[in-house]
Every structure is written in structure tokens, then in C-alpha cells.
Amino acid sequence: MSSFEDWLPWLILVFTAVSIILISLPSSFGAEHRFVKIANQSEVRVQVVVLGDIGRSPRIQYHALTIAKHKGFVDLVGYKVSDLHPDIQTSASITVHDLAATPEWLKSDRNWLFPILAPFKVVHQTCSLYYALGYRTPPARWLLVQNPPTIPTLLIAKIICFIRNTRLVIDWHNFGFSILGLKLGSSHPLVKLSESFERNFCETASAHLVVSDAMGRVLKEHWKLKGPVLTLHDRPFAHFQPFSEGQRLEFLANCSETAFAFDGIRSGTTKVLVSSTSWTPDEDFSLLLAALLTYAKLATSTQRHLPNILAVITGKGPRKEAFLSNIKTMADQGMLKNVHIRTAWLSAKDYAKLLASADLGVSLHTSSSGVDLPMKVVDMLGVGLPVIGWNGFAAWPELIQDGINGRGFHTSAELSELLVDLFGQDSKQLQRLREGAMLEGGRRWDDEWDPVAGKLLGLCT
């Protein structure tokens, strides 16, 4: 039988290892830690997290700016690829923590490579996110995390909140498994695994913010979540404002994507159509191309009174090059007479100006879940721009009232009919939609945020 002296070295080793682990754990909110300066417990500090490009996540940026506006402190965590909102870069209350970029060899659009590369990518993201939330940022009262991306975001958020005594709020933009289903198919085992992961790791959150009432009903009635589920509709931020006719013409005359057609725009013989996209599978731009093709045929044959269309499509993403290739083929074959298509990547400021200067906005968002809402439509309404969009999902009526501030379509034929109707000789219908858009856009982000998120976080009464 071994004596105590024989076990003593092992006991010392185990005790030392456990002590090192405990000492190395991230500090907790409301506790003293000799290695980390703990923030004043009376202040509201929020870790705002997106496992994506912060610059292309407007809602997350708006959360950060509004928390800071109400004298809270923000640690904004995500990838810093695109330009951030100027006010974030100058705010003394917001600290941006850039996540380590994903290595290039882990990036691929090929579906057959996804199951192979995904585990390595998840490990890299897990380490980067855990280190940022646990060690690079001070303890916070709240952790507000965007979902999706779901894996590994919700797991790391849950662990950090447990260790640091932080309350978790999930800001639901969509369902992660439904987006993955667009890539792999809804019956794929990884999609089923993702859904199970999402359901299990969201259950213990202190509260949930959702972008639509329809999404809230799914979480409450089907997922049976116990925490508060609060609808926080997207609303336009302050820099989305309507333009006067003089401001509109000045911008279009100087914008590189529109200047070449300025004479036609000023005379009314060219209409500006604008759409924004991430060039992802949940937006089918073949609908728009087919509709513009039909419009071009009509404008050069039986309905010569129709104006030219200048379509400006903004955004970055994986399917952009294929779209540009299709455009070039059609243009070379003379199929797009009377229609000009330009793509652009604009600053937030110029994007708002382009929307304010356009005649009509188009949304091709098809919604992988049926319950999310495209923020681009919110931005369009914020400048008083009427919107036509794909309306085949449950949440659409929460944003667009057909015939009041926009119109809906299902097919390219219906889209081309709307373009003919709205750009035809009777301009009264488009003007009525513009008036409705101006009215809807009058409700701003602060009006929506303060009584919902502001009250939840203890920043507003």
C-alpha cells in the first residue's frame, strides 16, 4: 500500500495545475482580480460581439453607438475589415477589439470542402474569440452577441458569461442553421447539428432581442425559450435623411456611378434604381436581371415612352463576379438597351446619399428562415425611398404595407410589371409610395432602441 509520502508529489502537481488554471481564468464582473483593473460596478459596460466584419454589421454598430450615447461603455469585438462608422472611431466610450483574421487557406466557397475546413475554422475562431472576450476586455455587466453566426459564438459567449458573471443577451438577426441550409441543403447532417447547437446554447440567455414579431413567435412558441423575447425592429440611423431636389442633383452629378447619365436624370428620361446586397444565396439577382431584360425589350418596342433605367447595385460578396459576367454577356449581345447597370462599394455616408438620390429601391432578400427582415429596406425608407421587394416570407408585412410605402413581387414578370407601372407615364403612384416611405421612415433607431434595449440594459427608464 502506497504511503502518503508517495502520493505527495502528485498531489502537489495537481494542486499547482488547478491553481494555475483558476488564477488564469478571466476575471469576473463584480469581483477583484489582482491582474486586471475592474471597472466601476455602478457603470454599465457591455461587450458587443459579432463574429463577422464590424463595418458590414450596421445594427451592431448602432447598438454600440447608442449605448455610448447613454453614457455606457462598450467593448466592440469583431473583425475590422471594412470602415467603421466615423462616430465609433472617435468615441471615448467605445473600444474596438479586432479579432485575428481567419487564415486564407481556411476560406473556400466550394461546398465539398466545407465539411473538411469547417472544424479547423471553428477551432481558430474559438481561440480568437475566447481570448478577446476573456482577456483582452475588462469584465462587463452585459454581453450582447449577434446571432448568426452561431458556431462557435453562442458556446463561447455562454462560457464567458458563466466565468465572468456576465448576463447574456442574444441579438437575433436570423437563424444560423437556416443560412447554413442554403449552402448545404436543409437535410444535411451539419445543418441538423447546427440547429441542435443553436437551440441548446441559446436557452440560458438572460434575454433575446429579435428583428421581427414573427421571429419572436418562433422563439417563444416553438423553441419555448424562458428568457424575455423582445422585438427590436431595425430602424434607420441618423445619417439616413431625405434629400431636397437640389441635394439630389448635386450628388448624382458628382457620383462616379451616376455622373455619366446625369443629363438624362436631370431631364427625367433616366430613372435611378438602387439595390444593396451581400451577394449571398438568399438574394436571387437573376430575378432583377430577367425583369430588366423584359423592361428593355418593352422600352425599345411597344412602350417607347418608358424612361431609361440606371440600376446601381452596392455591396461586396461571393456571387458578384458571376453577376457581372452575366451583365457583360447581355450587354455585348445588345439585350440591355435603355438599361445601364453599375456596381459600387460606397462609404456609409455616400451609401445614404445614393439612397436619398434614387427614384426606387429594390430588395431581393428571400429570407432563409422566413422571419428575418432586410435592413437595406429600413435604410431606404429612412430617406423616403419607396421600395419594391420579394414578399414571399412571413415577416415582410411588418416592414412594407403594399401600396402604401412599397410593393411586393414573387417573380421576375411581376417585378418587370412593377417597373413599367411605376416608371410609366403616371407618376402619381410612385409619388404616393414615396410619401408613405417618408412617413414610415420617420421612426428612428433611438425611438425603437430606448424603450426596448435601453430599458433592458438599465440605460433608459
Tell me what the pLDDT averaged over the chain comes to: 88
Task: Give the whole-angstrom CA distance, residue 289 versus residue 274.
Answer: 13
In tens, the pLDDT along 389-443 reads 999 898 999 999 999 999 999 999 999 999 999 998 777 899 999 999 999 988 8
Q: Are 128 and 122 in contact (CB under 8 A)?
A: no
CB within 8 A of 360, min separation 6: which ones? 271, 272, 273, 274, 385, 386, 387, 388, 419, 422, 423, 430
Distance of alpha carbon 327 from its chain centroid, rounded? 27
Q: What's residue 102's pLDDT? A: 83
Q: What's residue 35's pLDDT? A: 35
Helix axes 189-201, 153-164, angle to 10 degrees: 20
Ranges assigned E (strand) in 45-201? 45-53, 73-79, 94-98, 142-147, 167-172
Query: What one-character DSSP code corresponds to residue 302?
Result: T
Q: What's residue 30's pLDDT? A: 54
Q: Are 335 and 304 in contact (CB under 8 A)?
A: no
Element at 393 (helix H, strand E)? none
* Residues making up the chain, counted from first to last: 461
In tens, the pLDDT along 333-392 reads 888 888 999 988 888 889 999 999 999 999 999 888 999 999 999 999 999 999 999 998
Residue 158 three-state SS: helix
Confidence of residue 37 (pLDDT cuts 50, 70, 90): very low
In tens, the pLDDT along 103-128 reads 877 776 666 677 777 788 889 999 99
Task: Give the whole-angstrom CA distance, residue 428 versus residue 435.
Answer: 11
Q: What's residue 29's pLDDT? A: 57
CA atoms 178, 183, 187, 191: torsion sign: negative
- What number is the average pLDDT over the span 33-42? 44
Q: What's residue 294's pLDDT? A: 94
CA atoms 399, 377, 215, 444: torsion sign: negative
Q: What's residue 25's pLDDT? A: 60
CB within 8 A of 174, min separation 6: which ones? 147, 148, 211, 367, 368, 369, 371, 372
**CB-neighbour burial class of residue 319 (10 A; exposed 0-12, middle 13-18, buried 19+):** middle
In tens, the pLDDT along 263-275 reads 999 999 999 999 9
In tens, the pLDDT along 228-255 reads 999 999 999 888 999 999 999 999 999 9
Confidence of residue 1 (pLDDT cuts 50, 70, 90): very low
Q: What's residue 328's pLDDT? A: 84
Q: Are 240 and 382 in contact (CB under 8 A)?
A: yes
- What number is the average pLDDT over the span 27-52? 65
Task: Give the whole-angstrom CA distance, residue 256 versus residue 307.
Answer: 21
The answer, yes or no, to whether residue 41 has pLDDT greater than 60, is: no
- What number is the average pLDDT over the span 55-62? 94
Compare 106 and 38 and report the one with higher pLDDT: 106
The answer, yes or no, to whether residue 32 has pLDDT greater than 50, is: no
In tens, the pLDDT along 147-194 reads 999 999 999 999 999 999 999 999 999 999 999 998 888 889 989 999
